[in-house]
């Protein structure tokens, strides 16, 4: 895959939104009540295991006053998650999930109901995604008009980020497919006919795009539709700018042995992530913003909590998608026996959308190469990908 350069972009939303401030967080036996001094835009909650926590993101709110825990909640923390969002974290003394929630009719408070559960149920909740809550329309803050500034310390593009075309009907989830390498970076080169990874990945990305458009259930965009160079961080930055719901980076492997064959999926591992989260926090203190997490106003403990939370959530979702992909696409894509790997690739570092890197096969293997460069082989990969993506979004819809 030849991912050797480690370059990154820092995304900085710069619109100061009008926002309500959290004026109270009250926890009693089975209830959490969060109060605001003004209307807010929306809220969502999700669950994180090990240590067990419930996190509540409130858009259109800034963090403010709170209180200690009680009942199932041992402590309460608040921080600014990004320019427009307050995150409130409830550390749990016992496993409990949010079984329901709603805003008051004036939109000035959010009440969540807690339900104690067994550990297995809690673990299931921890990978099930977010629950969302909307204030009544008449008492709801408008979303901010955000503007994004991109800083790329190395290999800065001459003009801003490319904004690729989005295919498909409005309102559908957006899948961004990233064709690895491009331009002056060919990636791996096959000893079988000199095929270049950058061309193979682009052809497969286009095949996946066409398959998804034909199925019509998601929107799709490619980070590049031609032979151009993008630094790694630009690839996820493009997807984030577009508000992608899923990010798939397509690569082709190479190995010393011509016998190595089959597809591999990479996601971030928890271990790598924890270490990387700490390294990120240390390295990025000057920039104040890590992957959209604003650290400027918070102490380093909170900062590392935020990065940890942000990454853990999408790691669970990413690992789930990787497993689902193996299950749903195994007829079309031949996976390696050890198909799932964990690593800290820059291209996967996007905390707010599930992201995988798919190595479709080996350019150093003759059979793999023949399949990867053929129209039929590319369509098969696209079909497998489409099946996995369909199930992924169907499951997400069902869990809401």
Binding site for Zn ion (CB under 5 A): 1, 180, 187, 251
Name the residue with the smallest CB distance to Zn ion.
1
Nearest residue (CB) to Zn ion, 181 versus 387: 181
What is the gyration radius of the CA atoms in the chain, in angstroms? 22
- Least gap, CB of 254 to Zn ion (angstroms): 8
- Least gap, CB of 183 to Zn ion (angstroms): 14
Nearest residue (CB) to Zn ion, 174 versus 333: 333
Nearest residue (CB) to Zn ion, 110 versus 200: 200
Both tokens of 139, joined, read 């008492």
Contact 55, 92 (CB under 8 A): no
Q: Measured on CA atoms in the order 67, 78, 58, 172, is the torsion positive or negative?
A: negative
Nearest residue (CB) to Zn ion, 95 versus 180: 180
- Least gap, CB of 250 to Zn ion (angstroms): 9
Distances (CA, A) of 94 to 49, 61, 74, 116, 252: 11, 28, 9, 7, 45
- Least gap, CB of 276 to Zn ion (angstroms): 20
Nearest residue (CB) to Zn ion, 305 versus 333: 333
- Least gap, CB of 357 to Zn ion (angstroms): 8
Nearest residue (CB) to Zn ion, 1 versus 315: 1
Q: How many residues does the chain have?
A: 400
- Least gap, CB of 197 to Zn ion (angstroms): 5
Nearest residue (CB) to Zn ion, 219 versus 251: 251
Exposure of 121 by Cβ count < 10 A (0-12 exposed, 13-18 middle, 19+ buried)?
middle
The gap from C-alpha 195 to its chain's centroid, in whole angstroms, comes to 31
Contact 333, 378 (CB under 8 A): no
Nearest residue (CB) to Zn ion, 180 versus 292: 180
- Least gap, CB of 187 to Zn ion (angstroms): 4
Contact 294, 228 (CB under 8 A): no
Contact 139, 107 (CB under 8 A): yes
- Least gap, CB of 201 to Zn ion (angstroms): 7
Nearest residue (CB) to Zn ion, 217 versus 228: 228
- Least gap, CB of 1 to Zn ion (angstroms): 3
Contact 20, 72 (CB under 8 A): no
SS3 per-residue string spanning 333-360: CCEEEEEEEECCCHHHCCCCCCEEEEEE
Nearest residue (CB) to Zn ion, 2 versus 117: 2
* 148-151 vs 174-179, strand pairing mode: unpaired
- Least gap, CB of 256 to Zn ion (angstroms): 16
């Amino acid at each position: 895959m030849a991912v050797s350069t480690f370059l990154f972009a820092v995304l900085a939303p710069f619109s100061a939104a009008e926002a309500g401030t959290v004026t109270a967080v009250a926890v009693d036996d089975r209830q959490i009540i969060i109060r605001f001094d003004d209307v807010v835009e929306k809220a969502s909650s999700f669950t994180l295991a090990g240590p067990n926590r419930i996190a509540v993101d409130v858009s259109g709110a800034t963090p403010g006053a709170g209180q200690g825990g009680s009942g199932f909640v041992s402590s309460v923390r608040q921080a600014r998650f990004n320019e427009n969002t307050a995150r409130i974290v409830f550390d749990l003394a016992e496993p409990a999930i949010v079984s329901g929630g709603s805003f008051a009719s004036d939109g000035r408070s959010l009440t969540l109901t807690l339900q104690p559960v067994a550990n297995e149920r809690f673990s299931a909740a921890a990978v099930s995604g977010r629950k969302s809550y909307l204030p009544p329309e008449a008492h709801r803050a408008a979303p901010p008009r955000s503007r994004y500034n991109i800083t790329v310390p190395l290999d800065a593009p001459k003009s801003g980020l490319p904004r690729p075309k989005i295919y498909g009907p409005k309102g559908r989830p957006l899948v961004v497919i990233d064709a690895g390498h491009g331009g002056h970076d060919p990636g791996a080169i096959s000893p079988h006919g000199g095929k270049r990874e950058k061309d193979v990945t682009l052809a497969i990305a286009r095949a996946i795009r066409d398959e998804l458009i034909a199925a019509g259930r998601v929107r799709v965009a490619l980070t590049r539709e031609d032979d151009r160079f993008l630094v790694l961080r630009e690839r996820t930055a493009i997807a984030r700018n577009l508000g992608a719901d899923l990010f798939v980076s397509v690569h082709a492997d190479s190995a010393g042995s011509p016998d190595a064959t089959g597809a591999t999926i990479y996601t971030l591992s928890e271990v790598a992530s924890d270490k990387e989260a700490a390294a990120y926090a240390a390295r990025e203190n000057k920039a104040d913003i890590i992957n959209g997490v604003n650290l400027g106003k918070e102490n380093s403990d909170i900062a590392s909590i935020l990065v940890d939370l942000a990454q853990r959530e999408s790691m669970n979702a990413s690992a789930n998608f990787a497993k689902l992909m193996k299950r749903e696409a195994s007829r079309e894509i031949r996976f390696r026996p050890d198909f799932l790997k964990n690593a800290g690739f820059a291209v996967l570092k996007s905390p707010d959308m599930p992201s995988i890197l798919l190595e479709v096969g080996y350019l150093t293997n003759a059979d793999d190469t023949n399949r990867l460069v053929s129209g039929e082989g590319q369509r098969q990969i696209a079909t497998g990908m489409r099946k996995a993506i369909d199930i992924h979004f169907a499951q997400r819809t069902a869990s809401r």
